[in-house]
Structure 1
């Protein structure tokens, strides 16, 4: 709805630029030159200090353009008299006058003198219509049919056509299928330059800028204002030019809404208040229709009036509270000192703002954001207090949920790696003075990948949640258990008396986790391998204790799994295993054993493929296809990730170029970027070389960064991201929502896409809190103008939910599994029909 609070604004407040004027004897050409130079749509003709007429861009269409006509005085061709409005006229009344008269300009007069010109644009831009424009797509309003002339048509004929049909613009079509546009402003420019000759195509602005019909009116208006244009082409669902939208069309549509609403307000004023002023009626309507609760008290803090939102938020009607003290809402959660400070602020500054817990009539507690303002009478004494509040309980819960997610694992609710490392560092600080011992356990589930591969990720997630519960039940409140990722857990055990107590706890965990887990009517068994390091015996630094617990865990696996192992000084099994994998990776890179699988990303509105993510796989000679989860961490810990990442980038760009050469449309190719790879000195030069050698346009490439990497505050990371955007390379934040950085940084990042981590959809029972996070992420992405992609879509119910919340794009097993390039090429060649039903 358009903001009614702007109805009573006097139009004199909308005059923001000096009035463009000329004398009656000024030639038409001189006037056109001034209008063009000032980027104005009119000139007022003045004589002896009085406005006698006006000449606008629309009047320019009436000219034939010959030299004699351009030399005539403007008084001969001007529109006269100049229609005027008094400076005190309200914005609402002016809107009605524009609607009734059908003109675009009114002179604004005060005390008989013209002080400026009010345009149709001024009226509607100041109505606060952004919300209305965001809700309404272009296709929802009438868009004028195309009037098209060929580029070779004489310019004068084209202008005559505009004049005959009362058009402010026509579309010019070129032989190559390209379109341009000829507008009233172009005609003024040509008159100013005495250039009304030649073909229409020689003078049209080209190319014609366009938007899909599904975009919002706000997007169209914003684009036109940003590009300093007043017309934009409208494309239909097939991409064909179907109409021409002008700024005037948008304003006319808003004006219709405005006039309808204004007339209703005037009727209510006449029926309820008779001669009451228009502005008072609008204030009354704002008071009653406001979404925020409003309470007005007298100077003694006795309630005089409340609005409907107050009743909706608190449960108290106006009859319940009038004459009573606002303390009837008191929750008891604030101290007497809190209220003393509140009243002190009111007395000292005249207002107070803050959060306060109150209680509804039902007894339910709620958190509100409250603003209290002192209202003074003509003598300067306080006569009333006005309190405006909104219920922010749900918002606070969402904020707390986001803060919780920054330090906790989404799936299990356990601490995440960040929180665990913080507590480990704190334990070291507390233990140092007394050299008190504590233990670190590193736990990995044996053959958990087999559970995922055979029973599916949903079953795997259910197993992880049961394991998390069993671990939590075995620990004391002072201990910490965390999920580090995948099937890896870590435990911090403080304040034990005997190291044998640690061993007994490890044995208890083996027994508990190893018990059968019941999921969907079947029994699932998984056993843990546990490694243990002791402070300070095995290390005095957090990383050292974690590494040695990890090494001990590998020792437990080598003992046959389902065992625990204390770190021993000679233990090198984990390190040796990693060295062995690292050697195989070097050989695999030399012998071309790596390959890429590709998974499409779909636009949920059209069902079309808009991107393809390149996913690394290892064709091991003995083990077959190996997913990156089994080797990428080793590569990242060594320098091998740099040449491996370079190979992935080159191969993905090569394949993307091959698809383009074959005439296959796929949107953008997305490649994951490791932190170690991007901080090398040669990364940008490598990227330039790869794009040059593969001839892939930079805008066809999107690099995906982990959230923690994108939020990195180091200067080189920020400089790199800005440089990539300058080169037109797209940037996406991968696994969004699992990081730990402040979301406030998001608006400053030069990224165009958010990829929400699949874990938010993974739960089969569809946690409301996780769905709330998805809604919040989608809304935030849309507000920041970012594409939002949901990963891991596996069920139709998940897909329906994503459409409902307005998610732009999705990928996952339901839509298409990762597949080799040759299979995907055949899929693209068939026109990539969506594997899911369109709405």
Structure 2
């Protein structure tokens, strides 16, 4: 900053001082948590040390600019998000400028107060020291760095100082031929001139604000205007004193910094902050029937480009995509912003309906159809788009953006390369699912999950061979929640592991009680085992612990896995199943017949039982050959299972006819409402004691 300011320090002292401030900024950049307030202190310190020349702030910020490519490369090399480093540099730059500007403003205001005080003193002491005060005022008036003008209450300009004539590129004579209202500007607000009218009529004594002017050369002049009223000895308005600080450079700097803060550094597009500002403005004063639309898009598979070709190619691809889509959206008069990463959004203000936004999304697909040539690579890009179009009334910017984000997720989960329109009913279902998912850990902790039991009955003699444990959720507000609503959520969130262990512990305790009641003929307990549980390295150890704690014979425990699940089991999960089977635990395949099992592979699995899906049993409800195909399928499955040494249980039996036909086919056991609905453990004890369940 050499040559920009005069400071009462030697060259060595200046160098030492500036190095210290630079080290403070560098430390702030690297600190966690990040705090840009240090940069504000540095800016104020520069003013405090008299670095206040016209070019000081511009040259200071100019030194910060070269940090950006260096930091971006360093962040990418270290595996960090480059945008975070760029945001830190931008935040430090803004804070430094704000601290500098505020300190300089305070200094100027102090000078203004001194001038104002001099005016008042001159008036109050006029009779006693008229010549002295006039000389003092004239010295301040002529030599002040800020522009000063004096006018009467009718708006005539009486006098201006040298600084004022320099600002307006006009002589004192030219300025004094004008009226105050001649300085009106198109950017002035009605509020500003209301304040002026109140001042000249004596309703107020002072006001200050930012105001635009235009000088004699036609250039825009930004100023901080402070206007004060001087009253006569009777208190009547007599003069108005105007003080102008030229803040044009500061305003340009603020405009530049705002542009940096509101635009993406990589693509130059408006960023999330500017998009949210525009979206919020669309909701502030809506007209009748006003609507708004969003196209929220995400590039499909963009991570593969970064991982395979490098972040530099990925960045260049983002720039090319942004340029092409911005041109398309701009032609339609819509704002397009980069939300971060490979996500972009197009804002449709005053939308005419969903059809308009859908057509816009189709146009995005068309704009992306031509491959991008990046560093010698022809890259084809597709996108998924979430569409929201709705009336402005009755909603909010946050809700609208959230709906667009959710709809984008639907588009990607539905297959990518497509658009999806927001659906309130689907959203309500998703919210309900999320609510249940969020409540499940606490529900497990509070004991809201319990186990019902359904018998597996011998088709030969009606005896109870086994019992399946079925988990239920008694929700405190929603009542009984079926497993079809929460099992999938538990698998998605990983809660199926502790939930499955909870069911296993309860089921083994009950099975041990039955074992004590009927040591020789107690049924085995059958527990469902989810795929995620099979992949838990500690599964075998946990099962050993439960068996040891309950004292249950391993031969009286059976795990059920679905057909698709067990056919895809390999590696560690398969070895865990073999370890369980080696302990004497039974392994059964549930819903058999719904997948595409390789029977040759099935022979090599540690399986002892097949449970035929209830969909095949459905066709055997009536006597005779009401559905001979289902009968032949079941007979074939039973024959194949017996051929490789497996027992067969048929699920979903609801009638005596089904039970008899399956017995004749050769099924070993049956399960279904015909024998017993799922219920509490004492119902199983009654069946073991020979008590027939009421029809």
TM-score normalised by the chain length of structure 1: 0.33
Q: Which structure has the bigger radius of gyration?
A: 2
